[in-house]
Every structure is written in structure tokens, then in C-alpha cells.
Homo-oligomer: A and B are copies of this chain.
């Protein structure tokens, strides 16, 4: 395999910082999608957006209309291309084909959404120090998807450059709303991996936290269910008639404690998180409403389902204990999928020619960290007889994923682009 990258590392860093600065929450990646669409289209890619890329109804956990409208307006103010915004028609994410004229063989996935966390403003934090801290308050690329998007753009530019040598189509999926495991199912539904034989995706960091490290495939993802819980109580004057109220905050607070107290499971790992809570109104009014934003995880679908059953019971009886109704709404979720050994071999062989990845730091199979929506794509490809892998790209991390101080070493961008290209070429040769 003969491949030399042409995209300058500096260019990749510039892309990454642009994405970082325009961090956008899941299903609100308006600026990001428009920027990618325009760049890819101008470079000669066949780009699909809107309902061609993603099934509108199959999306779960889409923000309120008012929120979406405000974010779309912000994207517009920040210079998003109006023509692409219009074609997107309120939908984010895109599909880019390098050779749409040839049969589809390989799908590469890059996720593009940010995390709902306020970015660090500390001088210790490179994005703050070098001026590319998130423009959007409360949203931050704290999981490295800015890097993924930049790598994807780089990969497209490289492959377009050599597209005449390809024997099959290579598709790049830029997935919205990976956080919350919400985007993949809706893209699969729209046909994004139909007919594909190979799937490859990668994540910066995870358990690869040394420069030059490479984990070629991943197992041990946790199945997950994302859901919101709402409590409907009754307001009353907190001084005069506290007994007339049905306190939703008290019910929700009890639920938070008892959700975390769901027992560990003897058959595998579990997780429970209440990521956000809000409720009540005035200081001296018994709170009549509260909302929890939650997720369960489990090392198998069975274990995760058990967690979700427990969680529902806790929530329902926390509400009933305070004489009120509740509503549980599914907001996303996904299963587990194990990388194929044969694919891991191809990844390893592809990496061996790249100086950045050190043989002594390469590993065939590693542990995931929770969940990645890539599983939904991989599973779909495996179901139609194909195979795939999810790699972990090693980087020193100054802080953990989802922390306000998360950052990564940009020197991995160039080698990562090269890795994706080499994998794609190897697969193209293999057929």
C-alpha cells in the first residue's frame, strides 16, 4: 500500500480549532454541518444532508423547537452558509461519498457533536489560552469530536485527491448527536450503511492515553438507555399551606438518591447517571414540577434492561410517595457491538507504516468506556454480513473526557488521517 498524506498538519489543527470554537450540542450542529457540507462539496464530494442523510422521525431526544430556533439563529450569526442551512431543513449530520458512481464498500464514521458542559476558562486550558474556546456557553468539545470532525475532513480531502485509483465507493458519515446515542439509528434508518461491507471508526483517547498508542478494536461497550423523567405535583404557599402541596422536588430528589442506590449487578458492569435536574419556581412556592435527565448502562443488553427496569420502579414510586404522577420518556439508547478480529488485523497492519503509532503501544483489542453510537452502525454492517472495528487513538489527556478541561494532543491528527486512508485503501484492495 503506497500512500503519502498531502494535507498539512497545520491545516488539520486549523479545522479542529474551528470546530472546537463552534461547539454545538447534539442535533443542533448547524454551523458544523454547514461548514462540512460546503467544504466537502467544494472539494468535489457528493454530499447528502437533510432527510437524505438522516430520518427526521427516528431521531430521539431532539431539543425543543425554541431551543433549536435559537441555536440555528446563533449558527447563522456565526456565519453558517445560508444555502446549506436551507438544504439541511433543520436536520444536522451529513453523508459524503468519494465515488458515488461505484458500489459502496466501506463506511468511515466521524461524530461531530459537543458535550453540554461549560468549557474551562483557565489559562491552563489550551483552547482558552489560544483563543478557540467555545463560543456557545454551556456547550464544549469535551470529548474530542472536534478532532474527529477535522480528521474526517482531512480523510475526505486525501481520498478525493486519489479517488481515481479507487475501485469502490468509500462513504464518510458525519454523525450528529453521538452523545446520548441518538444519531446513528436515525442515519441507519435513512440507509446510510445499506450495502456496506466494512465499517471503521475511531475515538481519540478513551483508554489509549499515551502518545503513539493505538487500540485497534474495542469490546466491552455498555448498552445504554437514555431517558427523561418528569414529576407533576401541586403548588401551594410554602408558609401558609405546605400540606396542600405535592412537592415535586422532594419526589425527584428522593429519586436521584435511590437511582444511585440501585444495587450493583452480579453479572456485569452497570452505570446510572442523572446528568441534569431542574424543578420548582418561586422560593416560597411548593414545587409543582421537576425533571431529571438520566441514563442507565449495562455490560449486556440484559443487564442494562434490568437497570432501566429498576430505574422506572424507583421513579414511579418516588412520585407516588409524594402523591403525584410522573412521565418517563425514552430519549436514546444503544446496544453493544464487538470489533471483528480480522478487521483489527487490517487496522494494525495499516498503522505499522505510520511512524506516530509505536508497535510496542499497539494492542489488538481494548476496553471501551461506556458507549459509542458507532455500535449501531457496526451492528448494522455485521448484520448484513460485513465486519468492522472501532479503534482508540492514543493521546496524553490533561483531563478526563467530559471534563471542562478536556483537551488532546493535536499531533495525532495527521497520523490519524493517514490511518483512516490506509485502512480504506487496504479494504478497497481487498474488496
Contact = CB atoms under 8 A, between A and B. Distances in A.
A400 B275 contact: no
Contacts of A386: none
A424 interface: no
A243 B257 contact: no
Contacts of A277: 249, 252-253, 277-280, 287, 290
A115 B266 CA distance: 20
A117 B282 contact: yes
Nearest to A280: B276
A146 to B, nearest CB: 16
A182 to B, nearest CB: 10
A179 interface: yes
B370 A402 contact: no
Given A180-B283, A241-B400, A254-B258, 19 more contacts: A117-B235, A142-B235, A206-B240, A237-B370, A237-B400, A238-B275, A240-B266, A243-B306, A250-B260, A250-B274, A264-B264, A269-B269, A273-B284, A277-B277, A277-B287, A280-B293, A283-B295, A284-B295, A313-B320
Interface string A387-407: 000000000000011111000
Contact of A370 (B274, B284, B294): B284
A323 interface: yes
A336 interface: no
Nearest to A61: B283
23 contacts: A115-B284, A117-B288, A234-B403, A237-B370, A237-B403, A239-B371, A240-B369, A240-B370, A240-B401, A242-B264, A242-B266, A243-B263, A243-B267, A243-B306, A249-B276, A257-B261, A260-B261, A264-B269, A276-B280, A283-B331, A286-B402, A313-B323, A321-B321
A222 interface: yes
Interface residues of A, number: 83
A359 to B, nearest CB: 26
Contacts of A222: 239
Nearest to A247: B263
Given A253-B253, A369-B266, A238 B402 contact: yes
Interface string A202-222: 000010000000000000001
A271 interface: yes
A224 interface: yes
A116 interface: yes
Interface in A361-417: 369-371, 400-404
Contacts of A267: 243
The 7 A-B pairs with the shortest beta carbon distances in the complex, nearest first, are A239-B370, A240-B369, A116-B282, A260-B261, A276-B280, A238-B273, A253-B256
Nearest to A116: B282
A250 B257 contact: yes
A215 to B, nearest CB: 14
A265 interface: yes
